[in-house]
């Protein structure tokens, strides 16, 4: 059988911009909006059909590590409140549909050049310098040229293909935190449990022990959550499914994980029916566009955030994002969650500057840090703030005519 083929294509250049942001999740939105608001010509490429990444395509809530932050974190809090789409659990849950509409409005207001339904495929390299990215969509293959590329794909797709070194998984065996397919239900009992999330655990987990007829033997996670969406109507997002030993940056494994997770959704709905006297007569309202990948590649940068930085505290001179969220590890090989105290640390800009390739930044969950550090800074409030810093620093470097690496070394002195 044919093993591979060589293909030569004439590829049109779609446009040339100052800053090309790849991936429109929390990090990408932060980067693109910030750079555009500073006057840069920004193109934002996203393979989903809407902006927001896990916020919207993944159907998650709440917005962790948001309340302590100014900037776009604050802007989103305020604008979602105006839409009556903010509050509820720990005062930081939101409605993903309203988030989708809001991000679209913000992108239009900032005059972002947005390209949805578009996969960023390969970097366009000149030696060790990235000059742009080949993209693919309904129009075919095109090249977008840029002075600086910011990889906000979550998986570090472009940085890895450009030749940047990266790490994966936990140190002992490279295993990843499991993936989760969130889902939305309707008909949840209107009385909100006193303590939101934690009050649901007994309903979802321990009550079956007291009532053997409702026993469900293979709950895939020890803390399944029902997260009520602000507003009337008894709608909630459910974090229940957990798929282990699958890689989020492998197309085959991602597909298999998604299919297996859907079976777990069916099982969960069957279980909810058994406990309807507690939870309400719930029904399946919506499945997300994508399965949620907690971790994949961590692109090695000028600085790797260490376990000690998180557990003992770290406040470097080039800090760009204060992380307060605790270390939250959904265990790779068992149905458990391990939580460790975060002493409070700042992400240094150096961790967004990958080794070996010039004109490239990362932001979001693919930046440079240890397995434990990642388990803290991966939440959306932090990814957004990292993105804002990446967008701002890209503009500074362009305006001063220096590379982002030179800028980061200057800031770290
Ligand atoms: C199940 C689950 C539940 C979570 N719960 C919470 C929670 O309650 N609160 C919280 O704050 N955080 C939560 N997190 C963590 C958080 O969602 C992620 O770590 C965060 O969204 C990462 O942001 P990001 O911008 O780096 O990546 P993402 O949100 O993953 O966004 C990446 C974007 O890039 C796009 N993309 C990827 N590759 C390409 C490509 N090659 N070309 C074009 N586009 C591409 C994707 O479509 C996506 O839109 C959860 C994570 C998971 C998986």
Query: What pLDDT, in 10s, does the model give residues 200-218?
Result: 666 665 445 555 444 445 5
Please give the distance, rounded to the nearest whole angstrom, from the Cα atom of residue 330 to the centre of ligand 1. 16
The pLDDT of residue 197 is 61
Please give the distance, rounded to the nearest whole angstrom, from the Cα atom of residue 200 to the centre of ligand 1. 25
Which residues line ligand 1 at a C-beta cut-off of 6 Å? 22-28, 45-48, 53-54, 57, 60-64, 119-120, 152-155, 157, 180, 182, 239, 292-294, 364-365, 378-380, 383
- Topology of the domain covering 13-172+294-411: FAD/NAD(P)-binding domain (3.50.50)
Spatial separation of the C-alpha atoms in residues 113 and 110, rounded to whole Å: 9
Which ligand 1 atom sits nearest the alpha carbon of residue 135?
42
Facing residues of 369 across strands? 305
Quote the percentage of the chain above a pLDDT of 90: 82
The pLDDT of residue 212 is 46
Which ligand 1 atom sits nearest the alpha carbon of residue 23?
34
Residue 83 vs residues 60, 77, 97, 400: alpha-carbon distances, Å: 18, 10, 11, 40
Please give the distance, rounded to the nearest whole angstrom, from the Cα atom of residue 58 to the centre of ligand 1. 7
The pLDDT of residue 298 is 98
Q: What is the mean pLDDT of residues 398-406?
A: 98
Q: What are the pLDDT digits (tens) for 79-118? A: 999 999 998 878 899 999 999 999 999 999 999 999 999 9
The pLDDT of residue 65 is 97
The pLDDT of residue 200 is 66
For residue 219, pLDDT over 80 is answered with no
Q: Which residue's alpha carbon is at the smallest distance from atom 45 of ligand 1? A: 23
Which ligand 1 atom sits nearest the alpha carbon of residue 363?
26
Best residue among 90, 380, 390 to mutate for probing ligand 1's pocket (most ligand atoms within 8 Å of CB) is 380
Please give the distance, rounded to the nearest whole angstrom, from the Cα atom of residue 25 to the centre of ligand 1. 6
Closest CA to 368 of 304, 288, 275, 283: 304
Predicted TM-score (pTM) of the model is 0.96
- Greater confidence, 373 or 202? 373
Q: Is the N-terminal amide bond of 62 cis, ω within 30° of 0?
A: yes
Q: Which residue's alpha carbon is at the smallest distance from atom 31 of ligand 1? A: 25
Instruction: List the chain domain ranges.
Output: 13-172+294-411, 183-286
């Amino acid at each position: 059988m044919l093993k591979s083929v060589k293909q030569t294509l004439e590829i049109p250049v779609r446009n040339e911009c100052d800053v090309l942001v790849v991936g429109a999740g929390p990090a990408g939105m932060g980067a693109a909006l910030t750079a555009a608001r500073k006057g840069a010509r920004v193109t934002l490429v996203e393979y989903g059909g809407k902006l927001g990444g896990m916020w919207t395509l993944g159907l998650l809530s709440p917005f962790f590590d948001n309340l302590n932050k100014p900037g776009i974190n604050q802007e989103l809090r305020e604008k979602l409140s105006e839409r009556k789409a903010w509050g509820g659990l720990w005062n930081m849950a939101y409605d993903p549909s309203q988030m989708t509409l809001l991000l679209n409005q913000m992108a239009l207001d900032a005059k972002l050049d947005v390209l949805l339904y578009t996969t960023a495929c390969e970097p366009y390299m000149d030696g060790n310098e990235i000059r742009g990215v080949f993209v693919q969509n309904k129009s075919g293959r095109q090249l977008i040229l840029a002075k600086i590329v910011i990889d906000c794909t979550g998986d570090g797709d472009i940085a890895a293909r450009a030749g940047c070194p990266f790490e994966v998984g936990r140190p002992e065996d490279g295993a990843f935190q499991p993936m989760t397919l969130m889902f939305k239900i309707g008909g949840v009992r209107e009385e909100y449990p006193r303590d939101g999330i934690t009050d649901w655990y007994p309903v979802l987990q321990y009550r079956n022990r007291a009532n053997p007829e409702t026993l469900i033997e293979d709950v895939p996670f020890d803390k399944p959550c029902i997260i009520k969406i602000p507003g009337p109507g008894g709608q909630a997002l459910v974090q229940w499914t957990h798929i282990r030993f699958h890689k989020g940056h492998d197309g085959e494994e991602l597909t298999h994980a998604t299919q297996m997770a859907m079976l777990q959704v069916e099982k969960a709905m069957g279980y909810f029916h058994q406990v309807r006297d507690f939870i309400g007569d719930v029904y399946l309202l919506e499945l997300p566009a994508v399965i949620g990948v907690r971790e994949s590649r961590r692109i090695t940068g000028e600085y790797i955030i260490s376990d000690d930085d998180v557990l003992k505290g770290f406040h470097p001179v080039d800090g760009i994002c204060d992380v307060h969220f605790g270390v939250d590890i959904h265990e790779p090989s068992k149905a458990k969650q391990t939580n460790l105290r975060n002493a409070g640390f700042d992400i240094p800009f150096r961790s967004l500057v990958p080794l070996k390739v010039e004109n490239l930044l990362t932001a979001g969950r693919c930046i440079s840090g240890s397995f434990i550090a990642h388990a803290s800074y991966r939440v959306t409030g932090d990814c957004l703030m990292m993105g804002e810093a990446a967008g701002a620093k890209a503009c500074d470097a362009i305006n001063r005519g220096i590379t982002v690496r030179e800028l980061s070394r200057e800031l770290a002195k």
